[in-house]
């Protein structure tokens, strides 16, 4: 596997017997997820049927976009854009278009600045919405259609707009009425579990990345979760965080020394926050990028309230080498770094932080990828989705709904006169 997990330091806070029991429970919950009948239509992501993913259409359209687009705009919010953004913003894309994001804000400034940047460029857009009632993507689609309508004729517009929605939705009708390519958002897959449906796959492919590798990572993690009951990262992590939660550790900070994991950690925050924060329960998920945030939140991690779990996402292969060449004439006081590479410096800082926070009484967990790649993202996304489902079930909440979000939507729609 391209991903390994180190739970030893967190397990040190727990008793052997309770750990054994919790792992067995988590494994049973995990098995049941694969076996149970999907009555509520929420488990479609667990054993994705790749034959219904429209991979042929996805790859062909993505190829056209890579050939012709200067700008590719992903229009979606929450589960409808986070997984793709996590991958796209982390990986080099030598032949991809500039990727921009709309449908995820109501800020007029951001909308106007994005439209300004699109001016004079060859633009393709992908609108992603499961039920096509969400305000941000729906309203931005209106703005973008008007913007494109005054720049392209009808046929050209039809070629440049791709929509991802559920069958039978108004979005599907709009696609049919206007000749837009329609990709399916499978009904039994919730937004934040949609990383391996056309929701995640199409933008990743259009951005110039390898969806086969990404799906291969997912398949490897899926096999691991299915075949290695108690001994896969999802179940082990799910069990440990639940036990820690029971001991009062109710904040989990995901941290990485790789800034390019920034949007991945945002995806993780959404997955766990929206899935677990219910009925006045749940571990509060937060994220920080080190070493920068060591100069702010690092103080709290080291010495604040001891209710924190820290989950490191590390990577073995640094992805680049930048050496510090000796330069005695500068007299800058940094000669102790002479001959070192930033790959070693970053790793040393990570190890030092891990040790310091352990000494400070923080249960630390580490997920480590061999390298930042489509494949390792496939593994990471799948493991965390299973872990989240397992964790939620263990906590006794429904990890697949989001009634709290619906509540704010109801009051916002009322305020706007819907
Ligand atoms: O995970 C979820 O279900 C949510 O975050 C949704 O993805 C988000 O609210 C967007 O919903 P929709 O695709 O229906 O616009």
DSSP secondary structure code for residue 231 in this structure: G
Token pair recorded at residue 231 = 């001994």
Determine the Cα–Cα distance for residues 239 and 40; give it in Å rounded to an integer.
Answer: 24
Distance from the CA of 213 to the center of ligand 1, in angstroms?
26
Q: Say which residues have a Cβ less than 8 Å from residue 15's Cβ, sequence separation at least 6.
A: none
Q: ∠ CA(61), CA(271), CA(9), 5° rounding?
A: 125
Determine the Cα–Cα distance for residues 233 and 4; give it in Å rounded to an integer.
Answer: 7
Catalytic residues: 274, 295, 409
Q: For residue 253, what is the enclosing H or E element?
A: strand 251-256
Distance from the CA of 255 to the center of ligand 1, in angstroms?
25
- Strand order of the sheet with strand 308-315? 3-6, 364-369, 308-315, 251-256, 284-289
* Segments making up each domain of the chain, as ranges: 3-35+214-395, 46-209
* pLDDT computed for residue 49 by the predictor: 73
Determine the Cα–Cα distance for residues 152 and 158; give it in Å rounded to an integer.
Answer: 9
Closest ligand 1 atom, residue 134 Cα: 15
Instruction: Assess if CATH 3.40.50.360 describes domain 3-35+214-395.
Output: no
Q: For residue 148, what is the enclosing H or E element?
A: helix 135-149
Distance from the CA of 54 to the center of ligand 1, in angstroms?
21
Distance from the CA of 69 to the center of ligand 1, in angstroms?
27
* pLDDT computed for residue 407 by the predictor: 85
Closest ligand 1 atom, residue 271 Cα: 1
Are β-strands 284-289 and 161-165 bridged in parallel, bridged antiparallel, or unpaired? unpaired
Query: Could you list the pLDDT tens digit for every one of the 418 residues in the chain?
Result: 789 999 999 999 999 999 999 999 999 999 999 999 988 889 999 987 776 789 999 999 999 999 999 999 999 999 999 999 999 999 999 888 999 999 999 999 999 999 999 999 999 999 999 989 999 999 999 999 999 999 999 999 999 999 999 999 999 999 999 999 999 999 999 999 999 999 999 999 999 999 999 999 999 999 999 998 778 999 999 999 999 999 999 999 999 999 999 999 999 999 999 999 999 999 999 999 999 999 999 999 999 999 999 999 999 999 999 999 999 999 999 999 999 999 999 999 999 999 999 999 999 999 999 999 999 999 999 999 999 999 999 999 999 998 888 888 888 989 999 8
Among 382, 379, 51, which Cα is nearest to 186's?
51
Distance from the CA of 136 to the center of ligand 1, in angstroms?
11
Whether 3-35+214-395 shares its CATH topology with 46-209 is answered: yes
* pLDDT computed for residue 230 by the predictor: 79
Closest ligand 1 atom, residue 193 Cα: 1
Q: Which CATH number fits domain 46-209: 3.30.470.20, 3.10.20.600, 3.40.190.10, 3.40.50.10490?
A: 3.40.50.10490
Pocket test for ligand 1, best of 130, 187, 189 (most atoms within 8 A of CB): 130
**Ligand 1, atom 9: nearest CA belongs to which residue?**
78
Helices 233-246, 374-395: axis angle to 10 degrees equals 40
Residue 162: CB atoms within 10 A of its CB come to: 26
Determine the Cα–Cα distance for residues 402 and 271; give it in Å rounded to an integer.
Answer: 11
Closest ligand 1 atom, residue 185 Cα: 13
Pocket test for ligand 1, best of 78, 131, 137, 140 (most atoms within 8 A of CB): 78
C-alpha dist (Å) from residue 42 to 31, 35, 138, 253, 401: 16, 13, 23, 27, 9
DSSP secondary structure code for residue 323 in this structure: B
**pTM score, two decimals?**
0.97
* Pocket (CB within 6 angstroms of ligand 1): 77-80, 129-131, 134, 137, 190-192, 274, 402
Closest ligand 1 atom, residue 190 Cα: 3
Distance from the CA of 346 to the center of ligand 1, in angstroms?
36
């Amino acid at each position: 596997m391209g991903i390994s997990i180190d739970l030893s330091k967190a397990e040190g806070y727990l008793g052997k017997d309770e750990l054994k029991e919790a792992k067995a429970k988590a494994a049973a919950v995990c098995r049941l997820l694969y076996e149970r009948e999907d009555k509520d239509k929420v488990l479609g992501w667990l054993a994705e049927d790749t034959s219904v993913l429209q991979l042929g259409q996805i790859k062909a359209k993505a190829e056209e976009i890579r050939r012709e687009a200067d700008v590719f705009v992903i229009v979606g919010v929450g589960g409808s854009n986070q997984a793709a953004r996590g991958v796209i913003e982390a990986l080099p894309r030598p032949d991809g278009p500039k990727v921009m994001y709309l449908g995820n804000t109501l800020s007029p400034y951001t909308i106007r600045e994005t439209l300004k940047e699109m001016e004079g460029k060859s633009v393709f857009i992908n609108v992603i919405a499961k039920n096509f009632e969400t305000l941000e993507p729906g309203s931005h689609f209106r703005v973008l259609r008007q913007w494109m309508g005054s720049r392209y004729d009808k046929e050209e517009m039809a070629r440049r707009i791709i929509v991802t929605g559920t069958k039978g939705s108004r979005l599907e009708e709009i696609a049919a009425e206007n000749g837009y390519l329609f990709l399916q958002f499978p009904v039994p897959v919730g937004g934040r579990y949609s990383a391996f449906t056309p929701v995640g796959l199409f933008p990743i492919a259009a951005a110039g990345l390898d969806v086969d590798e990404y799906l291969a990572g997912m398949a490897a993690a899926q096999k691991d979760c299915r075949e290695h009951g108690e001994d896969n990262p999802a179940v082990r992590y799910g069990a440990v965080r639940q036990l820690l939660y029971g001991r009062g550790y109710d904040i989990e900070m995901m941290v990485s020394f790789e800034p390019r994991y920034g949007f991945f950690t945002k995806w993780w925050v959404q997955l766990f926050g929206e899935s677990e924060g219910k009925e006045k329960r749940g571990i509060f998920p937060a994220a920080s990028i080190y070493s920068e945030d060591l100069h702010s939140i690092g103080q709290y991690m080291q010495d604040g309230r001891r209710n924190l779990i820290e989950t490191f996402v590390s990577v073995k292969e640094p992805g680049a080498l930048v050496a510090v060449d000796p330069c005695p004439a500068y007299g800058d006081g940094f000669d102790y770094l002479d001959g070192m590479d930033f790959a070693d410096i970053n790793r040393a800082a990570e190890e030092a932080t891990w040790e310091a926070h352990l000494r400070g009484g923080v249960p630390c967990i580490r997920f480590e990828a061999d390298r930042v790649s489509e494949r390792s993202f496939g593994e990471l996304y799948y493991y965390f989705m299973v872990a989240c489902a397992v964790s939620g079930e263990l906590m006794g909440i429904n990890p697949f709904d989001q009634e709290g979000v619906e509540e704010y939507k109801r009051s916002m729609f009322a305020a706007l006169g819907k």
